[in-house]
């Protein structure tokens, strides 16, 4: 046992020196140092440097004011309260207006089934019901049918009809929109406190709205609204987690032997919706022209048991079902029309009651694509596909990148992160449990010969508001993102499910990261730059070069990217942020 000897210093001066040395040693692990050239807020001119310091100091003063009020018992610190309770306060704050002006570059963690804002979804329903050329929507308004109350659907036939009414009639009731808001989102503390197990109600919301996506036009307008909100919040690239959506008017069998050379309707609609959203923005803002691009991460639910190998007739084999989804994603990725549109594959939904990530090792990703099925109805067609397309005769993990939801748990025995780091090449969804694995952190962080940190993949996609609203961190000051970033783990921010959580764009999550997690503007800037780098790599299809004795590394000119980032993103932001402070009388 080593005894602490620091207390033995003979003088106050020596004690101060010791403390300063410890502080400096600790700061060497600041993840911000992974990107050389950012740490000193380096811009092209001294005026920009001075403006940046003014903005940073003023933002710090505002945050300190929140803390003073809390410590003087004048209010609860905002980040200690549920987001739904403080959202209005946040949206009216000067800090939020500054974050609205901040470039976000890319949003890399959002689910399309809840990707539009709560208000945007209800507005879409209003417009839909006021149009004479749309398919009428009904709502299950009474208990007792086969669908949960609040479920929205197009065909209330048979036994279900007595429990439904048209959405038009429903909207004619007083406070109907507030009632619908409660059904599709976590809109109030009272609503939150009435939910025994938050994930059950979270999944119920997807059930209530999911049937609407079978209509091609609804799917289009929904996603156009989603993309528009992203563009509005200065997001210029998104990676959207999507399921395999099928439209009533164009049924397509999502199986790998059926999509190699065919159009995929929902992907075409997504493309059209993104283009329309961008066109609408640029038409409305002639003095603020923007750009936007996106890719898709195809998904399956992680509660499917990939180890199910039951071959009995009539049994829906879950293992085969999972393999079909992975292989379908692989084949769509190799469909020439969509090759640049598909980023990868993910397993989604609740982690704690889902299947272990380790099961993917046991069956699936280390088998060849289109092989390993238990039931003959899948094997035969898969074999035919292989005969016609020999390019698929390789391991699944080599055929498509995995972006896995892992480390979204508070259980000490959740070790999915250990497997996710092995499987996921670029990023991991959430991943905050990583803080419980110090050896894994050391493995993920590397230092160069000058004892400075390098940026290493996989990055974590941290979603502050989602983590709070799903009851992982009631008080965001306790979130592990701070220690992970400080340890050198590279992160980006996501909003996860804004329709349910009420946090469209990324400004709300950046506000919570700054005010709640205690990140400095240095670290906020690093998060944005990480998003910028991820966008650059994705749009350039991850350029790589084999470097002798160092494995596979990305060959990018970080210096030129920093220069571009400062000149085209951070510099203009500082001018806009300074303008916000001037308008509010906080600087002269």
Check whether residue 377 and residue 422 sit in a common domain: yes
Same domain, 168 and 121: no
Q: Which of 524, 540, 562 is the last residue of a domain?
A: 524
- What is the pLDDT at residue 236? 98
Would 94 be classed as within a structural domain?
Answer: no
Give the start-end residues of each E strand in 407-452: 427-430, 446-447
- 268-271 contact pairs (CB < 8 A, 24+): 269/216, 269/219, 269/220, 269/223, 270/112, 270/223, 270/240, 270/242, 270/294, 270/296, 271/341
| Residue 434 counted as domain residue | yes
**Domains identified in the chain, total number:** 2
Q: In terms of domains, do 171 and 312 share one?
A: no
Q: What is the pLDDT of residue 133?
A: 81
In SS3 terms, 134-197 reads as: CCCCEEECCCCCCCCCCCEECCCCHHHHHHEEEHHHHHCCCCHHHHHHHHHCCCCHHHHHCCCC
Q: How far apart are CA 495 and CA 235, in angstroms?
A: 12
Regarding whether 409 and 308 lie in a shared domain, the answer is yes
Query: For residue 118, is it within any domain?
Result: yes
CATH code (residue 469): 3.20.20.140
**C-alpha 186: how far from chain center:** 18
287 located within any domain: yes
Measure the CA–CA gap between 402 and 361, rounded to whole angstroms. Answer: 13
Is the residue at 561 inside a domain?
Answer: no
The verdict on residue 208 lying in a domain is no
- Domain boundary pick from 505, 524, 543: 524
121 plus 155 within the same structural domain: no
Instruction: Determine contact, residues 300/322, Cβ cutoff 8 Å.
Output: yes
39 or 224: which leads in pLDDT: 224
C-alpha to C-alpha distance for 432 and 307, rounded to whole angstroms: 27
Q: What is the spatial distance between Cα 407 and Cα 418, in angstroms, rounded to a whole number? A: 9
Give yes or no: residues 354 and 239 share one domain: yes
What does each C-alpha distance from 588 to 43, 55, 132, 580 come to in angstroms? 22, 12, 54, 11
Residue-averaged pLDDT of the chain: 90
Same domain, 389 and 492: yes
pLDDT digits (tens, 9 = 90+) for 317-333: 999 999 999 999 999 99
- The DSSP output letter for 451 is S
Q: Which of 267, 497, 56 is nearest to 508 (CA)?
A: 497
Distance, in Å, from the CA atom of 50 to the CA atom of 45, rounded to the nearest integer, reads 9
Last residue of a domain, one of 524, 558, 573: 524
Residues 119 and 169 occupy one common structural domain: no
Closest of 469, 203, 460 to residue 353, by C-alpha? 203
Segment 542-551 mean pLDDT:
54
Preceding amide of 458 cis, omega within 30? yes
274-319 residue pLDDT tens:
999 999 999 999 999 999 999 999 999 999 999 998 888 888 899 9
- pLDDT of 547 > 60? The answer is no
Domain check: are 387 and 479 in the same one? yes
pLDDT of 285:
97
- Residues 378, 334 within the same domain: yes
Q: Is residue 164 part of a domain?
A: yes
Backbone angles phi, psi at 2, to 5 degrees: -95, 130
- Lowest mean pLDDT across 88-92, 316-320, 453-457, 470-474: 453-457
Q: Band of the pLDDT at 29, cuts 50, 70, 90?
A: low
Per-residue confidence at 546, pLDDT binned at 50, 70, 90? very low
Q: What does the pLDDT read at residue 146? A: 82
pLDDT tens, residue by residue, 504-531: 999 999 999 999 999 999 899 999 999 9
Element holding 85 (H helix, E strand): helix 83-92
- The answer to whether residues 286 and 301 belong to one domain is yes
Domain of 393 in residue numbering reads as 109-132+215-524
Contact 42, 48 (CB under 8 A): no
As a whole number of angstroms, the distance between CA 74 and CA 68 comes to: 9
Rg of the chain (C-alpha set) = 25
273 and 147 inside one domain = no
Q: Is 41 among the domain residues?
A: no
């Amino acid at each position: 046992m080593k005894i602490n000897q620091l207390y033995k210093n003979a003088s106050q001066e020596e004690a101060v020196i010791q403390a300063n040395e410890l502080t400096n040693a600790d700061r060497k692990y600041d993840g911000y140092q992974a990107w050389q050239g950012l740490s000193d807020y380096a811009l092209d001119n001294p005026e920009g440097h001075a403006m940046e310091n003014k903005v940073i100091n003023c933002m710090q003063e505002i945050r300190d004011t929140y803390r003073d009020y809390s410590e003087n018992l004048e209010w609860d610190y905002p980040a200690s309260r549920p987001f739904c309770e403080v959202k209005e306060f946040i949206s009216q704050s000067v800090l939020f207006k500054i974050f609205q002006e901040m470039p976000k570059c890319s949003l890399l963690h959002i689910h399309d089934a809840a990707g539009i804002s709560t208000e945007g979804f209800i507005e879409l329903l209003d417009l839909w019901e006021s149009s004479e050329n749309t398919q009428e929507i009904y709502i299950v308004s009474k208990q007792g049918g086969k669908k949960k109350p609040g479920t929205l659907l197009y065909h209330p036939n048979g036994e279900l009809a007595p429990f439904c009414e048209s959405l038009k009639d429903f909207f004619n009731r007083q406070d109907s929109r507030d009632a619908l808001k409660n059904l599709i989102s976590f809109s109030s503390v009272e609503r939150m406190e009435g939910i025994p197990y938050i994930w059950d109600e979270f999944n119920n919301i997807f059930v209530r709205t999911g049937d609407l996506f079978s209509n091609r036009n609804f799917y289009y307008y929904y996603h156009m609204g989603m993309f528009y909100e992203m563009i509005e919040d200065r997001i210029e690239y998104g990676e959207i987690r999507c399921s395999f959506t099928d439209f009533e008017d164009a049924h397509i069998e999502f199986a790998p032997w059926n999509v190699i050379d065919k159009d995929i309707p929902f992907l075409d609609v997504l493309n059209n919706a993104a283009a329309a959203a961008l066109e609408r923005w640029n038409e409305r803002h002639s003095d603020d022209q923007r750009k936007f691009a996106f890719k898709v991460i195809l998904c399956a639910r992680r509660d499917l048991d990939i180890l199910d190998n039951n071959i009995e007739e009539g049994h829906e084999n879950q293992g085969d079902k999972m393999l079909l989804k992975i292989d379908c994603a692989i084949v769509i990725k190799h469909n020439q029309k969509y090759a640049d549109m598909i980023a990868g594959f993910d397993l989604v939904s609740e982690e704690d009651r889902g299947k272990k990530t380790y099961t993917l090792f046991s069956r699936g990703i280390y088998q060849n694509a289109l092989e390993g099925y238990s039931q003959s109805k899948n094997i035969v067609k898969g074999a035919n596909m292989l005969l016609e397309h020999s390019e698929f005769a390789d391991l699944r993990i080599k055929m498509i990148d995995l972006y896995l939801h892992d480390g979204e748990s508070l259980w000490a025995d959740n070790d999915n992160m250990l497997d996710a780091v092995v499987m996921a090449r670029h990023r991991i969804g959430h991943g905050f449990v990583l803080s419980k694995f110090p050896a894994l952190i050391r493995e993920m962080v590397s230092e160069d010969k000058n004892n400075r940190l390098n940026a290493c993949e996989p990055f974590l996609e941290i979603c502050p508001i989602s983590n709070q609203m799903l009851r992982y961190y009631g008080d965001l000051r306790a979130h592990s993102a701070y220690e992970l970033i400080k340890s050198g783990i590279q992160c980006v921010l996501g909003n996860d499910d804004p329709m349910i959580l009420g946090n469209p764009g990324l400004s709300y999550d950046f506000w919570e990261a700054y005010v709640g997690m205690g990140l400095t503007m240095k670290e906020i800037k690093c998060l944005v730059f990480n998003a910028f780098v991820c966008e650059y790599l994705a749009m350039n299809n991850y350029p790589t070069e084999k470097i002798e004795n160092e494995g596979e590394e990305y060959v990018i000119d970080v210096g030129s990217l920093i220069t571009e980032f400062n000149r085209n993103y951070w510099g203009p932001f500082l001018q806009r942020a300074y303008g916000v402070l001037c308008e509010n009388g906080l600087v002269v």
